[in-house]
Structure 1
Amino acid sequence: MKIRIAKMLLVLMLMAVFIPTSIYAATENEISDVTVISINEPIPTGDSYLSIKDTDGDIGTDRQTIRLLLENAEWTPEEQWSPYEFRYYNNGFLVANGNNFAVSFTRITDTRMDITFSMDPGDVGRETDEIRIPIKALVSSVGDASVEIDSLNSVVSAGVYAFAEGIKSDAIVRTGEKTIFGPRTTAKLEEIEIIEASVGSISMQEAIRFRLTPGFEWVENASISIEGSDGFEGSTEISLNEIMTGEREVNFTLEEIGMAHSGSSERGKISLSDLELTTSGERFGDVQIITAGVLGDQRLTVAEYMDYTTEARREGPKTTVYAGRFNQGAGEGFELAPLVIEEKVFASMSPGRPVDVAFSDWVKLTRVDGVATEEFQPGDNAFTFTPERDETGGKLKFEILVEATLHPDSAGDITASVTGGGIVEPLEAILGEAIQPLEVLTEPVILVAEDEENLSPEITLRETSYRALMEGDLEIILGVGTWGSIPEIMVTEGDIEIGDISVIDERLIIEIVADSSAASEIKVSEAPVVVEGLPAIGKYPVSISGDAIVTNNIEPYFEQEYLKRLEVLEVALNRISKAEFKVNQPYYLVDGEQFELDAAPYIAEGRLMVPVAHVSRALGIHRDDVLWDADAQTVTVQVETTQVVMTIGSDVMSVNGEEEDMGASAEIVDNRSFVPISRFARAIDVQYEWDAEEETVIFTK
């Protein structure tokens, strides 16, 4: 025993040696800002930091050593680094700069830097939960540059993070979201920024040029604003035609528009506002600006020209709604995600023409806000409103809030369909999802009239989420018979609280006195069921109902009182579990009880043949469901929804209209119709096995 323990300890020690401690790392790392810069230009200090945040306090006061490896970049020389350029934060606020006690670093190669840091308040001088390491590097070539954290033996999380994009141009051009516009309208663009790729890379005399893609032109009388900042100073407002050299091209120098260098060590930035463009063509799609001159060859998507288009969309995440209930009081629905109907292009909708918003029949609306509905009543599954433009004459946009309650059977996406109002094609938006509050697990049982052995099925009720069952009564209702006694009921998972339990005829009533804080499970054991008289042979349901699960069964909403109805009760003439037929034996056995045959089973073409008249008795099929047609020479057997038709002299049977091979022909012997019992039993889904030694087939049900 001591040897075994020693071996286990040795294994654990070896694991501790060979498993890197970074497996247990728990820091959040990110780059503060991805910089766009000319290749071989140093990233200005402060433009980009690598943030390491000790979210769970795993670093504590222990010193951490990490290795930073660059891809497509080189570290600046070590003499250009200073501990004071490191930053310490606490809860997002700057609390201290680095110092010689808290930070040290060694530039091993052009692409490798080893950094040791402390977050001990005694070293930093303040409580801290984050260090930001300056990215002091030069991008080597065009494309992304990244830094990889090698955790070494620290608790810092490993990872790779892009921090810059290298370009060859002397300037960077960027803008905001593209502007959407359509026929007979203009597009006012988002602000365009021109930023020096390095300090002084744009001179006052160099041409700044950009042109539109073919098919589009500038609105030449537009008044635009140009403003310099950081390394540039000055501002002006001019008509766009003053700097145009054609319908599509703009060309100017900073000197011509009155800009100057500010003397700052920062990269200069020029901002152009209120640029407008238009088109008289039908070239739908993205509109780009193509740069030239000092800006180099860059392409910037600034607008999208599209045909008349209206959009219907969901704002925010879709709402999850339990089926079969109101939110709080009677008539109060659940709020779905907002529905936004918006013109993407001006005049896509037709003011004055009604817009219809419809949902599936299993969705009933309780309230609609955001538009003036026409003749809407709670309980409708649709509403209508008529759009009108306001005094600004801008594009139409409607944000509509809808509350709804759902049919107990419902599940799946709650989709709004939008038509009318000049909208060419129906629009759809998914505003929520219907979910069933309960999963019900059970198995079918057989009930026999006046049989004291009748038992209800064992039933498991499993909440799909917490609070799926509400305070109130949960009812389990038998579709045939009555409860003979109260079954044992247990909460097997979760913390839902059950109160009084009672039975009234076919109803089992379980009081829910407190809903759950974690998804719960209730198990209902078997209990005696009383079946009196002679109910029709066939299947009956067990229904899950009660105001703990269904509350919207009132006018003008839904009529259904139950959440689920499961066909798991089967009334039979007797409780057959096993039937046995033996070759050349003039009787058969049902659960050990012997029944005479006036014609013994036999084997034909390798199949056991038995008289159809006895099939119903042996397999529990009612004699009225076995029909003989003398003219057509057919035997028809109906078992629930399955109909089997066999023709004398044919080895093919029809199962719900589909032909299947029987392996042997049906035939008449001693005035009895014989059929291959194995293929027939398979068609009606009865299990069987063949005992070759005893020449006996055994059916189980």
Structure 2
Amino acid sequence: MKLRQKLAAVLAATMVVTAVPAMAASTNSLTHGIVVDQKGETITGAGLKIEMKDNVDTTGSMFFVNLENAEWAITGTQTTKVGDLSIEYKTNSKKELQVTIKADGNATAKENFTLPLNAKLTGGEATVSIDGNGSVISDMAPVVFAKTSDAKANVTVGEVKNIYKDGVIADIIIEEGLVGSMDPANGDNGSVKVSLDNTDYEFVNLSSSNIELSKGFSNLNASFDKTTGDEVTLTLDGKSTQAPGRITLKNVRIKLKSSKTPVIGDQIAVTVEGEKVTTTTVKVAEVKGFGNTISMKDDKVVEAVAGTQKAITFSIKENVDDSILENREIEVKLDKGYLSKTNAASQSLTVSAELNGTSETINVTPITNKDGYITGFSFKAPASLSSTKVDEITFKDLKVFVPLNEEGDITLTTTGRALAEEASTVALSVKAPVEVESEALTLKVGLKDQKGGKITIKETDKAMLKANQLIVELPAEQGMTFSKTKPVIKVVEGDLQIGDYEVDGNQVIINVKRASKTASTIEISDFVVSTDRTLPQGSYDVAVKGSALVKTADTILDEEVTVGKVNEEENSFKVEDFIVIGTANTEDLGSNGLKKGTAVFKIGEKSYTMNGVKQEMDAAAYISNGRTMIPVRYIANALGINNTDIFFANNTVTIIAGNKTISMEIGSKIVKLNGVAVRTMETAPVITGDRTYVPVSEIGAILGVEATWDGEAKTATFENK
């Protein structure tokens, strides 16, 4: 067949398939919303509506309508006419209805129709579904059309209140389960009795204003039989007709009877009962002493990163009425962090406040620390405090500036003559943006271009370092500067990008080119530092700082203000004891703080050379598992470590080399540095001939000593530069 003929055949087949009409289907729906009634009652009036999507003949269609949690209240075979349509239905069982559609005479059945959902409720949610039986009537998944409810009203309660001798209790909600079930024309006139279980207290000043009627009771009235006492009765003047009704008893006040004494911790409960109400006892109050609390919004601690600012919202709330005295002083203080980003003189502070949910103007006086930063404020309790309910003073979106060197919880405390007691809460939880680790740089006085040391800066999360300057700064003491030779700087983990960097006096300035998308680590090593002879011996800290860590808009950095040393310290990470100034210039030290020099050990001989000078040993070197084993005392001596810095105890040898402490257990391949396991050696230390042997190359690597092996001469050389 030619290509043209094939295409024609395909098109013809496509037209034939397209011309076949899709089978029509019905849209099935309920005529009413969900009906609520008692178990065992029969509902009528609801229906199941069948609408055909197309004008299709339904003659001869048979389908089935099924119930769950209900039974058909239809007897015999019944027929309903809709136009030319006859709908015949009968029950096959208590839950299944068979429906057959017929047409009168020669007419066709094309009408929409409704089936009555006359059913007895057996409990729970009653559903209806359709099995179309392959006809033009669509299947329908189960749909809830009715549910059962207890005829008696249910009782719930709102937020439990705190009281002392008197106060407002929680709202009490009484809600009908069925329309008209609290009809006052039946039984006990629909009355509700409300009684206090703790009869030391009584209701006071009850009135219609304490009764809120809603839903099906909206157009009715209700009243109490009396205004005081520990038991009262409420009566409705009508019944609900369109929806179940709701009664809410609001702002109900109780007080301690004159002859009684309040008991702190007592639970106050009421019992609600009546012929049309499920008898229920609910807690509505707790007896508490005078006091107050301070709490964060939604009781949630604010998460913050050091070097940024965060807004906090908190409230000071009475435990019971009149715990806060109006027009008396209240102080609010942070234990860390500030409410200002400078320590300029005469600073003011503006707050946004509410009293019991309504905006309130509160003028505050800043409280500053010795360095001039605002750490809190004081104010007078408003004169408009309520005398009938618990008061709550809220401060919204107060900015807290968190210094870079803070970490952990920041606590907010409130005190003052207006308050019954001091109260505190954790306001913020602060994490550091980076973790800084270091290996010390040991220097001698009066020498130029001394190299060594390492600082590792590890982000605690992505993008902690911003695209800006990161600075490593020497202390301000005279006689110590970075040389022009740049240190080695590299990103060893993550995708942070660094650009150019420079050395300027006592600073190494690194430009972070792009923030990370995954937490990253920067390693800075081989610092080159010059010292003069005026520099005192001892240890010195360096600072890691800069706008890559903190932004002037977010933090307390403000170069226009003379802030003193505190600002520098609180906006930098202190790398403690990074610079170690060794002994005076009477010996030549390497960058690791140990004597410079070259030691050569020969396998099988009881001597070694130190800077070309032969030194005697009482035991010979040997090889084990490819490692040169030498008595630990001679290794230490060759590297400039004094005998007094070598210790043997509890089957462990310990070497103190400057700021490094190395420990090894006999028989174990694990070596520890400053108490932390850092290396697994090829060969474990052993005791041979009353001498403790260790693999010398492993120790040299930890101390930063270069090791070489000459296989032909069978010599191990260790050079400390």
TM range (shorter): 0.5 to 0.7
Q: 2:174 aligns with which of 175, 194, 213?
A: 194
Q: d(CA) in 1 for partners of 2:416 and 2:363?
A: 16
Q: Partner amino acid for 1:292?
A: E
User: Per the alignment, in what secondary structure is the counterpart of residue 331 of structure 2?
Assistant: strand
| C-alpha distance 219-694 of structure 1, shift in aligned 2 (>3 A) | closer
* Counterpart in the other structure of 2:695: 698
| C-alpha distance 428-451 of structure 1, shift in aligned 2 (>3 A) | same
User: Per the alignment, in what secondary structure is the counterpart of residue 558 of structure 1?
Assistant: helix
* Counterpart in the other structure of 1:184: 165
Which of 451-460 and 541-550 deviates more? Answer: 451-460
Q: Partner amino acid for 1:323?
A: A
TM-score (norm 1): 0.57
Q: Partner amino acid for 1:183?
A: Y
| C-alpha distance 170-613 of structure 1, shift in aligned 2 (>3 A) | closer
TM-score (norm 2): 0.56
* Counterpart in the other structure of 2:424: 428
Q: CA deviation at 1:268?
A: 3.6
Which of 470-479 and 343-352 deviates more? Answer: 470-479
Q: Identity of aligned pairs, percent?
A: 17
Q: CA deviation at 1:345?
A: 0.9
* Counterpart in the other structure of 2:509: 509
| C-alpha distance 34-411 of structure 1, shift in aligned 2 (>3 A) | farther
Q: CA deviation at 1:312?
A: 0.4
| C-alpha distance 486-446 of structure 1, shift in aligned 2 (>3 A) | closer
Q: d(CA) in 1 for partners of 2:207 and 2:576?
A: 72
* Counterpart in the other structure of 2:625: none
**Contact kept in structure 2, 1:484 and 1:528, CA below 8 Å:** no
The reply to whether residue 380 of structure 1 matches residue 378 of structure 2 is no
User: Per the alignment, in what secondary structure is the counterpart of residue 572 of structure 1?
Assistant: coil
The reply to whether residue 485 of structure 1 matches residue 466 of structure 2 is no
The reply to whether residue 174 of structure 1 matches residue 159 of structure 2 is no
Q: CA deviation at 1:406?
A: 2.4
* Counterpart in the other structure of 1:74: 69
Alignment RMSD, CA only? 5.9
Q: 2:573 aligns with which of 535, 542, 563?
A: 563
Q: d(CA) in 1 for partners of 2:504 and 2:164?
A: 71
Q: Map of 1:276-675 to 2, 5 A cutoff?
A: 276-279=253-256, 280=260, 281-282=262-263, 284-294=265-275, 295-316=277-298, 317-324=300-307, 334-351=309-326, 353-363=328-338, 365-366=340-341, 367=349, 369=351, 370=353, 371-374=362-365, 376-377=367-368, 379-390=373-384, 393=387, 395-401=390-396, 402-421=398-417, 423=419, 425-440=421-436, 444=439, 454=451, 457=454, 459=456, 461-462=458-459, 464-466=461-463, 468-470=464-466, 472-477=468-473, 482=483, 484-485=485-486, 487=488, 489=490, 493=494, 500-512=500-512, 516=515, 519=517, 524=522, 528-532=526-530, 543-550=543-550, 551=552, 552=556, 555=563, 558-560=567-569, 562-565=572-575, 571-574=592-595, 586-587=606-607, 596-597=615-616, 600=619, 616-618=636-638, 620=639, 622-623=641-642, 626=645
User: Per the alignment, in what secondary structure is the counterpart of residue 337 of structure 1?
Assistant: strand
Q: CA deviation at 1:539?
A: 7.1
Q: Map of 1:104-119 to 2, 5 A cutoff?
A: none
**Contact kept in structure 1, 2:655 and 2:661, CA below 8 Å:** yes
Q: d(CA) in 1 for partners of 2:442 and 2:35?
A: 76
Q: d(CA) in 1 for partners of 2:247 and 2:443?
A: 90
Note the alpha carbon deviations across 1:576-619, whole angstroms, 9 max, x for none: 9999899x9643589x99862365589xxxxxx9999857524x
Q: CA deviation at 1:432?
A: 2.1
Q: d(CA) in 1 for partners of 2:521 and 2:234?
A: 80
Q: d(CA) in 1 for partners of 2:602 and 2:126?
A: 79
Q: d(CA) in 2 for partners of 1:365 and 1:260?
A: 62
User: Per the alignment, in what secondary structure is the counterpart of residue 324 of structure 2?
Assistant: coil
Note the alpha carbon deviations across 1:188-245, whole angstroms, 9 max, x for none: 653x443322234333232422311123544354222456555557544646517x7x
Note the alpha carbon deviations across 1:13-46, whole angstroms, 9 max, x for none: xxxxxxxxxxxxxxxxxxxx99998666799999
Note the alpha carbon deviations across 1:289-324, whole angstroms, 9 max, x for none: 212332132123333332213110112454443323
| C-alpha distance 426-391 of structure 1, shift in aligned 2 (>3 A) | closer
Note the alpha carbon deviations across 1:379-422, whole angstroms, 9 max, x for none: 03233333243275465432235323223221122210222336
**Contact kept in structure 2, 1:224 and 1:240, CA below 8 Å:** no
User: Per the alignment, in what secondary structure is the counterpart of residue 226 of structure 2?
Assistant: helix
Q: d(CA) in 2 for partners of 1:168 and 1:576?
A: 96
**Contact kept in structure 1, 2:225 and 2:233, CA below 8 Å:** no
Q: CA deviation at 1:265?
A: 4.7
Q: d(CA) in 2 for partners of 1:349 and 1:359?
A: 21
| C-alpha distance 595-348 of structure 1, shift in aligned 2 (>3 A) | farther
* Counterpart in the other structure of 1:53: none
User: Per the alignment, in what secondary structure is the counterpart of residue 182 of structure 2?
Assistant: coil
In the alignment, structure 1 segments of 5+ residues that lack a partner are 1-32, 47-68, 80-106, 112-133, 148-161, 326-333, 603-608, 629-635, 645-654, 664-677
